[in-house]
Amino acid sequence: MVSDERDRDDDVHSQDQQHIKLPPCSNNLATALLTDAYQITMAYAYWKNNTHERTASFDLLFRKNPFGGEFTIFCGLEESLKFVSNFKFTRQDVKYLRECDFAKEMDPRFFDEYLSSVDCSKITIEGIKEGTVVFPRVPLIHVSGPLGVTQLLETTLLTLINYASLVATNAARHRLTCGDEAQLLEFGLRRAQGVDGGVSASRYAYVGGFDATSNCEAGRQFGIPVRGTHAHSFVQAHSKWDDIHGRKVGECEDFCKEAREMLKELREAMVSSDSNNSAAYQFGETNESELISFCAYAIAFPNSFLALIDTYDTLKSGTPNYVAVALTLKKCGFQPVGVRIDSGDLSYLSLMIREFMIEAEKCLERRGKHFSLLAKGLAAETKITASNDINETVLRELKQSGHSIDAFGIGTHLVTCMAQPALGCVYKLVEIDKTPRIKLSEDVEKVTIPGKKKCYRLYGKIGEPIVDVMLREDEKEPKVGERVLCRHPFLEGKRAFVTPAKVEKLLLVCWDGEKGGCPRKFYEESVGLEKSRLRVKEQVKLMRADHLRYTNPTPYKVSVSGDLYQFTHQLWLDNLPARELT
Amino acid sequence: MVSDERDRDDDVHSQDQQHIKLPPCSNNLATALLTDAYQITMAYAYWKNNTHERTASFDLLFRKNPFGGEFTIFCGLEESLKFVSNFKFTRQDVKYLRECDFAKEMDPRFFDEYLSSVDCSKITIEGIKEGTVVFPRVPLIHVSGPLGVTQLLETTLLTLINYASLVATNAARHRLTCGDEAQLLEFGLRRAQGVDGGVSASRYAYVGGFDATSNCEAGRQFGIPVRGTHAHSFVQAHSKWDDIHGRKVGECEDFCKEAREMLKELREAMVSSDSNNSAAYQFGETNESELISFCAYAIAFPNSFLALIDTYDTLKSGTPNYVAVALTLKKCGFQPVGVRIDSGDLSYLSLMIREFMIEAEKCLERRGKHFSLLAKGLAAETKITASNDINETVLRELKQSGHSIDAFGIGTHLVTCMAQPALGCVYKLVEIDKTPRIKLSEDVEKVTIPGKKKCYRLYGKIGEPIVDVMLREDEKEPKVGERVLCRHPFLEGKRAFVTPAKVEKLLLVCWDGEKGGCPRKFYEESVGLEKSRLRVKEQVKLMRADHLRYTNPTPYKVSVSGDLYQFTHQLWLDNLPARELT
């Protein structure tokens, strides 16, 4: 696998020893112009009123975990940093914007003096490391800098983070459900929401814990392992033995003839067996076109033969045809891989396929040493891949009803996040010219926590995260072994003291425009596909099981310091218009 | 608005007088490598067995209309043709594929002799015009050509058509629900599934009947009108009158002063009024920061002032602040546009905003000619835009409960197609070397109709489509005034005679690789954003209302000729393994 050159360290441009510029986003459309028109009109109104250079601070956060769960995986930071690093309206962008309806009454100097030259050299971003388990209300990234630019960044940052985090979370939930053993394969490209929907899905599904993708473009760009076998059309495309050209495989002169004989042998062995096994019974009629197509595929891929066995009838035809071709391959000195099923009752079928193979081993054992040796290990070695409309619920049900599946191919549900196709990240102004701002709402969930904040995760003695706590900027950071008051941000009665065994600072400087870009140390230690993937794995492991479970998970606590609580509520009262009772 | 240069006629390359090559896809990732790995492994197996040059035919179709409806809008053809026109594995693509795991046991000649040079010069595609109303089972496109290439095209064609058709259908449903009068604005970029999810959504929402988008990149690429005003952060960013720089607007020397006085005047007029109107009552406390921000925006956009009025309190603060600034603008010789609300009960609020303005007009009338003239027409002229989590259901409920909204801004639900985030298009082999193939399934819905087919839409006397009918390739086409037997493809009892008043051929040749590309006539008459958009509008108008309705819509009939019925069922029986009863 080749990882994208643009991802390599030697391709990032050094500004000084400590800070680096990054290459452009992996999707070349993620540029300054990929934004909502109102960002341009607002930037203009700021510029017109000369407030565009005031210092503003925005929090990017979400308010509710997706999929009815109590955790989220943060992703999209690397792309966000690349976007910021290359943020610039090109001459063509400006030309286009000048011709838009809304530009008719704009002062042309806005474009010449401001928009053409604006960049992120005055922007600072603190962010949580990609792949971290995160929770509602804690800022995922905190953006500070001139009001005009901070505003202009909003839409693109949301676009880059919302879907990335959603897919990674979805993937992590699938991984949690099926355990570490199973192979998880992402097969969603054809049902994805647009080209980039497909490519991003492959990338963030991998970060969230999938093992491979079917998507070659994602493989090329990100170095994700790529997998694929064949489709039903391949089986349908074959009908005659003449469809196969060149039958020599390894030592074997006529692979097709051998496979036909092997099938005959298998049939005789199993039919003549005194077993009353239902698997044996199933084996009557087989479809010859299917056998031909399996031979064609085996001749092309003798070392990695994996057959789709449900085109005609999985148990009656596909399984015996597979076994015949697999044993023929073994006879020729190759090791077949397994089968894929794409329809029907995956629990029942996978168990029956395995049972059929156990039975085949037994029956062939009685046909002499030659067949006995060939068949030995067949059932244990065969990998069963399943791929029919699988989602988290199906994985749970399969686990409950029992199955014999080694790998799951998951498409539509994973990439479109059908259970909840959008994560509602928002980007809220929390401070302007060092004055904290609050966004009120009649819905308490939507009230923002004002000002620039310090955010920490406090861990317990066995290394489990206990609570995230936000502090005012000038407060002292929590220390190991020292008691910290953690208050619910809005409910007065909810408060607790925590004495952390470990304190982790969540928001780290990941972009400092004035110093020249992304801190090299942050980039080297924290950025990259494999690092993020490993982080997801490690972090999910640390979480208490009740936060992760499917049914009624326990909410993880997100709190504020006593100081921040008081401050927030005072500002709230100051801003809330008192209603007149009538 | 500049339409993308790549979309222009003068940029397509002429091969001969009649056929043209097309520019690349609008998303530069939609290339040959954007495919599932199994297409490559299958192509290899065909090549290895020397079946890759056999002539194959695939139908691309869906089996069920989305969103519980009974119609679908077909989109994605233009991008599909661009993809086909430029289909080629680059040297880098081939280099990458050679290094993949699955390539380890491939013969290197496959890459050198086949994959490096394969293109669509031997491919023929028949397709339905983009923007046509379509129904299950009728092929949207029919692809013929060498087995290897036809197979290699599958995934990308599905990716380009699935989401495009889904969003266009979603948009058309929204348009149907709210009628022709309302403005529909697509605001979904930040919640879209990836960058291209956002850009494609804007494009196909426009085709489906939306009027504009907030997405600047989509505006630039496709020439879609772009709209935007300001966000809550803009209101939050203002708190002092000093935040405004340069207060001269038109004739008016100090706009802020005038606006403050106008608000005072308005308050006095309405409070002193003897009306018991609830709207008047609401007007007590207003938020000054909000007034400041409205002034700042009005100074920047005096000719297109549209204010977001729900930051503090829509009725108590936002509406009177808007009215004060709007009247001040009128006083200065400008025409304000309106308001936007983004929270709360949109039905109630929009009605109350309008009522407030009617009341304000009345009250100001009593304050003398000057104010009377300024206020005249205020209620009628103010455009109310609403944009809070709107979807088809909300639009229906608003219609039922009554509202006074002129424009709807729709984001998440539209672009993620939350009600059904994937359309299940499939790509099925129907013929190989002129021999029709059938794909069986225990689920009758999934049985394919074999062979290359002719597809027609038969219209009734008042121009309404009655039935789509598929015929075998060698059958005579239906004629106006001649009785046609139309049979349900699977249910023997369902059959009808139709005497069409008009016959429309649905599948037209849109790519002929051997002749040099896309027929110029087809391209000029049928391809393009505005043409597709108009087609949707015209076609939806022609449909019988019961096919379009939200609740229990009547399925539109899709049928086969008597000949095709017989043929399909014979092939079905020939291929179906007879079960042994026990």
A to B CB pairs, distance under 8 Å = 404
CB A305 within 8 A of CB B105: no
Helical pair B255-271 and B288-300, crossing angle rounded to 10 deg: 130
A123 pLDDT above the threshold of 70? yes
- Split at pLDDT 50, 70, 90, the class of A6 is very low
B17 pLDDT above the threshold of 90? no
A18 pLDDT above the threshold of 60? yes
Domains of chain B: 13-213+215-223+419-575 (3.20.140.10), 234-381 (no CATH)
- Split at pLDDT 50, 70, 90, the class of A275 is low
Q: Please judge whether B36 and A215 are an interchain contact, meaning their C-beta atoms are less than 8 angstroms apart.
A: yes
Asked if the C-beta of B42 comes within 8 angstroms of chain A's C-beta atoms, the answer is: yes
CB B122 within 8 A of CB B149: yes
| CA–CA distance, B4 with B9 (Å, rounded to integer) | 11
Asked if the C-beta of A51 comes within 8 angstroms of chain B's C-beta atoms, the answer is: yes
Chain B neighbors of A100, CB-CB under 8 A: 1, 216, 219, 226
Distance from CA of A515 to the nearest CA of B (A): 27
Chain B neighbors of A154, CB-CB under 8 A: 190, 231, 233
B411 pLDDT above the threshold of 80? yes
Distance from CA of A402 to the nearest CA of B (A): 24
Q: Please judge whether B27 and A29 are an interchain contact, meaning their C-beta atoms are less than 8 angstroms apart.
A: yes
- Of residues B100, B225, B231, nearest to A226 (C-beta): B100
Asked if the C-beta of A2 comes within 8 angstroms of chain B's C-beta atoms, the answer is: yes
Three-class DSSP category at B310: coil
Report the phi/psi class of residue B249: left, alpha or beta, with left for phi > 0 and alpha for psi in -120 to 50. beta
| CA–CA distance, A273 with A291 (Å, rounded to integer) | 23
Distance from CA of B64 to the nearest CA of A (A): 15
Asked if the C-beta of B467 comes within 8 angstroms of chain A's C-beta atoms, the answer is: no
Q: Please judge whether A417 and B417 are an interchain contact, meaning their C-beta atoms are less than 8 angstroms apart.
A: no
Q: What is the pLDDT of residues A215-274, one digit of tens each?
A: 999 999 999 999 988 999 999 999 999 989 888 888 889 999 999 999 999 998 887 665
Tokens 């809220």, located at residue: A428
Q: Please judge whether A38 and B229 are an interchain contact, meaning their C-beta atoms are less than 8 angstroms apart.
A: yes
Q: Please judge whether A193 and B197 are an interchain contact, meaning their C-beta atoms are less than 8 angstroms apart.
A: yes
| CA–CA distance, A270 with A361 (Å, rounded to integer) | 10
Chain A neighbors of B189, CB-CB under 8 A: 34-36, 155, 159
Q: Please judge whether B441 and A31 are an interchain contact, meaning their C-beta atoms are less than 8 angstroms apart.
A: no
Going by C-alpha positions, the residue among A167, A179, A198, A154 that lies closest to residue A34 is A154
The token duo for A297 is: 């595929």
CB A52 within 8 A of CB A112: no
Q: Please judge whether B34 and A216 are an interchain contact, meaning their C-beta atoms are less than 8 angstroms apart.
A: yes
Instruction: Indicate the pTM of the whole model.
Output: 0.94
| CA–CA distance, A1 with A7 (Å, rounded to integer) | 13
Report the phi/psi class of residue B50: left, alpha or beta, with left for phi > 0 and alpha for psi in -120 to 50. left
CB B498 within 8 A of CB B458: yes
pLDDT of residue A281: 55
Q: Please judge whether A301 and B102 are an interchain contact, meaning their C-beta atoms are less than 8 angstroms apart.
A: yes
Chain A neighbors of B159, CB-CB under 8 A: 189-190, 192, 194-195, 198
The token duo for A210 is: 């999938």
Chain A neighbors of B296, CB-CB under 8 A: 45, 48-49, 51
- Split at pLDDT 50, 70, 90, the class of B259 is very high
Q: What is the pLDDT of residues A52-82, one digit of tens each?
A: 999 999 999 999 999 999 999 999 999 999 9
The token duo for A248 is: 């020599």
| CA–CA distance, B170 with B392 (Å, rounded to integer) | 8
pLDDT of residue A246: 82
Q: Please judge whether A159 and B198 are an interchain contact, meaning their C-beta atoms are less than 8 angstroms apart.
A: yes
pLDDT of residue B8: 42
| CA–CA distance, A547 with A216 (Å, rounded to integer) | 35
Q: Which long-range contacts (CB under 8 A, 24 or more apart) does A102-109 make?
A: A102/A37, A102/A40, A102/A41, A102/B226, A102/B227, A102/B228, A102/B301, A102/B304, A104/B303, A104/B304, A105/B301, A105/B302, A105/B303, A105/B304, A106/A44, A106/B300, A107/A48
Three-class DSSP category at A358: helix
Three-class DSSP category at B443: coil
| CA–CA distance, A201 with B164 (Å, rounded to integer) | 18
CB A527 within 8 A of CB A511: no
Q: What is the pLDDT of residues A378-419, one digit of tens each?
A: 999 999 999 989 999 999 999 999 999 999 999 999 999 999
Q: Per residue in A227-245, is it b (16+ CB within 10 Å) or e — as a string?
A: bbbbbbbbbbbbbeeebbe
Q: Please judge whether A196 and B201 are an interchain contact, meaning their C-beta atoms are less than 8 angstroms apart.
A: no
Asked if the C-beta of A31 comes within 8 angstroms of chain B's C-beta atoms, the answer is: yes
Chain B neighbors of A36, CB-CB under 8 A: 187, 189-190, 214-216, 228
The token duo for B495 is: 């059959």
CB A256 within 8 A of CB A279: no
Sorted by sequence, the CB contacts under 8 Å of residue A281 that are 6+ apart come out as none
Three-class DSSP category at B559: strand
Distance from CA of B104 to the nearest CA of A (A): 9
The token duo for A223 is: 């170095």
Going by C-alpha positions, the residue among B228, B322, B299 that lies closest to residue A45 is B299
- Of residues B106, B194, B427, nearest to A200 (C-beta): B194
Q: Please judge whether A101 and B41 are an interchain contact, meaning their C-beta atoms are less than 8 angstroms apart.
A: no
Helical pair A288-300 and A319-331, crossing angle rounded to 10 deg: 40
B11 pLDDT above the threshold of 80? no
Helix-, strand-, coil-residue percentages of chain B, each rounded to 5: 45, 15, 40
Give the number of other Cβ atoms within 10 Å of residue B203's Cβ.
Answer: 28
Report residue A316: phi and psi, to 5°: -75, -35
CA angle B141, A201, A139 (to 5 degrees): 140
Question: ipTM value of the model?
Answer: 0.94
Q: What is the pLDDT of residues A358-371, one digit of tens each?
A: 999 999 999 999 99
Q: What is the pLDDT of residues A175-225, one digit of tens each?
A: 999 999 999 999 999 999 988 889 999 999 999 999 999 999 999 999 999
CB A411 within 8 A of CB A387: yes
Rounded to an integer, the average pLDDT of A106-126 is 97
The token duo for B413 is: 């639900």
Distance from CA of A366 to the nearest CA of B (A): 27
A17 pLDDT above the threshold of 90? no
A575 pLDDT above the threshold of 90? no
Which range is least confidently modeled, A304-318, B10-24, B201-215, B376-390? B10-24
Asked if the C-beta of A250 comes within 8 angstroms of chain B's C-beta atoms, the answer is: no
Alpha helices in B71-138 (DSSP H): 77-85, 91-98, 108-109
| CA–CA distance, B511 with B165 (Å, rounded to integer) | 20
| CA–CA distance, A100 with A94 (Å, rounded to integer) | 10
The token duo for B115 is: 């994959």
DSSP B387: -
pLDDT of residue B9: 45
B460 pLDDT above the threshold of 60? yes
| H or E element at residue B466 | strand B465-472
Burial (CB < 10 A; 0-12, 13-18, 19+), residue A320, is buried
| CA–CA distance, B41 with B102 (Å, rounded to integer) | 7
| CA–CA distance, A201 with A170 (Å, rounded to integer) | 10
Report the phi/psi class of residue A554: left, alpha or beta, with left for phi > 0 and alpha for psi in -120 to 50. beta
pLDDT of residue A1: 37
Taking only residues 175 to 214 of chain B, the set having a beta carbon closer than 8 angstroms to any beta carbon of chain A reads 187, 189-201, 214
Q: Please judge whether A418 and B417 are an interchain contact, meaning their C-beta atoms are less than 8 angstroms apart.
A: no
- Split at pLDDT 50, 70, 90, the class of A517 is very high
